[in-house]
């Protein structure tokens, strides 16, 4: 119940609800309308970027569960995108598995390997753990490049479009709906996780692991579980990406991409599921926009800038990251929260 | 306190007065330092059992041995779990000890700073809940029912400790006195069979101390939870404890009823004398 003096709930069920006020339901309705209208109002070019955002968001939510909520840094996200991609490509192209099944298998395999690479978390913390995930990334990158079996010696491997009957799902418009559902489910699951005891245990491990242990939380097992979830979601993202791009090459799964994902959750907001989505949008869309500006400049007298574009992009990213770390360590999610609060009590200042 | 509580906060099935924990000849060394040196005493079900001693006497170390954070080189700590049988706590992992129902607070508050009061207390229910990944992802269904069920007990603890007004606040932002209360609440939510409190009143003013002493008494009276309490304030100790053990340089120099211990000459020399000089 929302009154002038605040929000009151008369049952625990209501108190646990994600939304309490009419304004919150209204915003949800707006969001629903937005995602339905979006694909009709964007060109194929920009819609493809929306799809890339949705794909990145899946892995970013996973990484935020691991890093933002559980407090364990991973530099191996790209490696697990690769595990998902190579697995589904091989299962569909060589073993002729149907795509949905092979994507699920790829997710589970990535989760399993992720648990394995998460084992050092039983012993290591902080920087040392980060280095051990870096090692995992190096091992995986190395396998993608060097293990000829993965690509039957071609250096890359095809992954087909999904089919419905005899129809091939190729257009960005169709992919948008598929990805909207999958990413929506991942976000839903991520948000739910932190409404339950399991999610609270993850946060407890991040905040005070000794107290968590003394409260009976199985700290070691949950750390490994968090790795498994993050790597599984990276695998899911990578597998879908493989079918979206239709080709799997090792260049996409290098350490640089892992860093991009870390940047994503920092910019979006550590410890926020929505933040992971904002971060994915920011880190995908901004470079695309810069590229676009670059192309239009090419026609003008600024062509010298074009050659510098990659450097400009990197510098800008570095700057953005530093600015967020310094001024809003809780990212875009926190900014949005503050904006909502501001308007809720507007025009009063307190 | 006349309010009827629906949940029994006491996890122990022993009769009041029964032997609950035997600390036998515990010796704990850190390199050359003997933090504990052959400490032995018994804790009875339902008592408020105080541990006193000067700074560095080994009080916190003893609590850490009981909750499995430190592993003494010599001795054993036998915990009588009633229906759940007896268990030597030495070499048992902290998580397993928590599942026996041994709950504690820390000298330097160790709360989950970024969680709300409610979430911190709900974490106290962790060992009483089941945690399945898929149910958690789904939320609606078993996970939600469990949250609601556990919330009821947590709300009773919130009422008992009078922290209703701050239940949705992040604990990192709370005043020190409230944080101490929340930490007690989190331990209580475990429905402990044994409650270990490391200086719950340290750094408080007289009024806050009085409140906290009342809460400790309430918990003990209403629920019958055995409480092992480390405290420096002799006044409080004399008022609320049923039994007192005195540590000095890692040795247990006295153990008995508060009045006895208070008049013991060795204790006066070791502890009270020191305070009088300070
Ligand atoms: N982890 C540790 N490593 C090394 N020495 C330790 C450790 N923990 C405790 N000690 C030493 O053991 C001795 C007892 O310390 P402890 O913290 O148990 O005292 P205390 O009685 O709780 O004191 P206080 O009243 O100051 O809290 C001290 O000499 C302390 O330096
Ligand atoms: Mg101490």
**Predicted confidence (pLDDT) per residue in B85-121, tens digit:** 899 999 999 999 999 999 999 999 999 999 999 999 9
> Looking at the domain assignment, is residue B123 inside a domain?
no
Q: Give residue-wise pLDDT tens across range B210-243.
A: 999 999 999 998 889 999 999 988 888 888 999 9
> Looking at the domain assignment, is residue B210 inside a domain?
yes
Q: Are strands A247-249 and B48-52 parallel, antiparallel or unpaired?
A: unpaired
> Looking at the domain assignment, is residue B40 inside a domain?
yes
Given an 8 Å threshold on Cβ–Cβ distance, is A197 in contact with B148? no
Q: Give residue-wise pLDDT tens across range B148-181.
A: 999 999 999 999 999 999 999 999 999 999 999 9
Distance of CA B153 to the CA centre of its chain: 19
The two tokens of residue A116 are 């394995």
Class of domain A44-345: mainly alpha
Interface of B with A in 99-118 (CB under 8 A): 99, 103-104, 106, 110-115
CA nearest A335: which of A268, A277, A235?
A268
Measured N-to-C along each axis, helices A77-93 and A255-268 cross at an angle, to the nearest 10 degrees, of 120
Residue-range domain boundaries for chain A: 44-345
pLDDT value for A157: 85
- The domain of B203 spans 10-111+171-277
CA nearest B149: which of B128, B164, B135?
B128
Is residue B3 over pLDDT 60?
no
- With a pLDDT cut of 70, the percent of chain A lying above it is 91
Domain CATH number, residue B99: 3.40.50.300
Give mean pLDDT, residues A241-249.
Answer: 91
pLDDT value for B278: 44
Helix (H, G, I), strand (E, B) or coil at B229: strand
> Looking at the domain assignment, is residue B159 inside a domain?
no
For residue B152, the chain A residues in CB contact (below 8 A) are 12
> Looking at the domain assignment, is residue B96 inside a domain?
yes
Number of domains in chain B: 1
Nearest protein CA to atom 13 of ligand 1, as residue: B35
The two tokens of residue A194 are 């932190």
Integer-rounded Cα radius of gyration of chain B: 19
> Looking at the domain assignment, is residue B152 inside a domain?
no
Q: Which of A190, A214, A230, A272 to mutate to test the interface with B (most CBs of B within 10 A)?
A: A214
Q: Which ipTM score applies to this complex? A: 0.91
Higher-scoring residue by pLDDT: A291, B67? B67
> Looking at the domain assignment, is residue B155 inside a domain?
no
For residue A203, the chain B residues in CB contact (below 8 A) are 112, 114-115, 119
Cβ pair A247, A85 in contact under 8 A: no
Please tell me the distance from the alpha carbon of residue A226 to that of residue A67, in angstroms, as a whole number: 9
**Residue A300: CB atoms within 10 Å:** 8
pTM: 0.91
Could you tell me which chain A residue has the CA closest to the CA of B128? A216
Give mean pLDDT, residues A241-264.
Answer: 92
């Amino acid at each position: 119940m929302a009154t002038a003096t605040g929000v009151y709930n008369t049952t625990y069920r209501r108190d646990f609800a994600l939304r309490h006020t009419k304004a919150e339901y209204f915003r949800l309705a707006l969001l629903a309308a937005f995602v339905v209208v979006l694909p009709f109002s964007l060109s194929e070019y920009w819609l493809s970027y929306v799809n890339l955002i949705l794909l990145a968001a899946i892995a970013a939510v996973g990484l935020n569960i691991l890093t933002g909520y559980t407090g364990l840094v991973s530099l191996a996200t790209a490696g697990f995108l690769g595990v998902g991609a190579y697995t589904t490509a091989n299962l569909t192209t060589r073993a002729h598995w149907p795509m949905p099944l092979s994507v699920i298998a790829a997710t589970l395999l990535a989760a399993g390997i992720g648990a394995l690479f998460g084992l050092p978390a039983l012993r290591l913390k902080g920087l040392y753990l980060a280095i051990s995930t870096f090692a995992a990334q190096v091992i995986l990158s190395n396998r993608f490049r060097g293990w000829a079996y993965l690509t039957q010696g071609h250096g890359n491997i095809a992954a087909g479009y999904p089919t419905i009957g005899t129809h091939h799902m190729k257009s960005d418009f169709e992919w948008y709906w598929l990805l909207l559902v999958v990413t929506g489910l991942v976000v839903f699951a991520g948000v739910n996780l932190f409404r339950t005891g399991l999610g609270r245990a993850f946060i407890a491990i991040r905040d005070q692991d000794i107290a968590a242990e003394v409260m009976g939380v199985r700290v070691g097992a949950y750390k490994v579980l968090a790795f498994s979830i993050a790597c599984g979601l990276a695998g899911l993202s990578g597998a879908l990406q493989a079918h979206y791009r239709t080709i799997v090459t090792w260049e996409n799964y290098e350490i640089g991409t892992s860093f991009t994902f870390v940047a994503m959750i920092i910019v979006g907001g550590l410890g926020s599921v929505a933040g992971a989505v904002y971060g994915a949008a920011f880190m995908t869309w901004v470079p695309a926009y810069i590229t676009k500006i670059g192309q239009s400049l090419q026609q003008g007298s600024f062509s010298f800038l074009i050659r510098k574009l990659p450097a400009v992009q990197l510098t800008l990213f570095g700057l953005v990251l530093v600015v967020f770390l310094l001024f809003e360590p809780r990212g875009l999610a926190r900014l949005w929260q503050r904006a909502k609060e501001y308007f809720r009590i507007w025009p009063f200042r307190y | 306190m006349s309010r009827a509580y629906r949940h029994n906060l006491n996890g122990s099935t022993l009769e009041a007065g029964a032997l609950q924990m035997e600390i036998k000849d515990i010796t704990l060394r850190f390199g050359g330092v003997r933090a504990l040196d052959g400490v032995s005493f018994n804790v009875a079900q339902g008592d408020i059992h105080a541990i006193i001693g000067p700074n560095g006497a080994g009080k916190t170390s003893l609590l850490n041995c009981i909750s499995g954070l430190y592993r003494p080189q010599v001795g054993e700590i036998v915990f009588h779990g009633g229906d759940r049988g007896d268990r030597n706590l030495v070499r048992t992992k902290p998580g397993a000890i928590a599942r026996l129902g041994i709950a504690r607070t820390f000298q330097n508050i160790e709360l989950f700073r970024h969680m709300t009061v409610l979430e911190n207390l709900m974490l106290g229910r962790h060992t009483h809940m089941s945690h399945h990944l898929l149910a958690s992802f789904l939320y609606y269904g078993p996970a939600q029912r469990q949250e609601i069920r556990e919330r009821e007990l947590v709300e009773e603890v919130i009422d008992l400790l009078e922290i209703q007004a701050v239940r949705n606040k992040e604990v990192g932002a709370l005043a020190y006195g409230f944080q101490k209360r929340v930490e007690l609440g989190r331990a209580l939510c475990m429905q402990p069979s044994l409650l270990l409190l490391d200086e719950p009143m340290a750094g408080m003013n007289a009024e806050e101390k009085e409140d906290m002493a009342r809460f400790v008494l309430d918990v003990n009276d209403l629920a019958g939870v055995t409480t092992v309490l480390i405290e420096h304030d002799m006044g409080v100790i004399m008022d609320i404890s049923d039994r007192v053990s005195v540590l000095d340089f890692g040795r247990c120099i006295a153990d008995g009823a508060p009045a006895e211990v208070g008049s013991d000459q060795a204790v006066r020399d070791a502890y009270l004398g020191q305070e009088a000089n300070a």
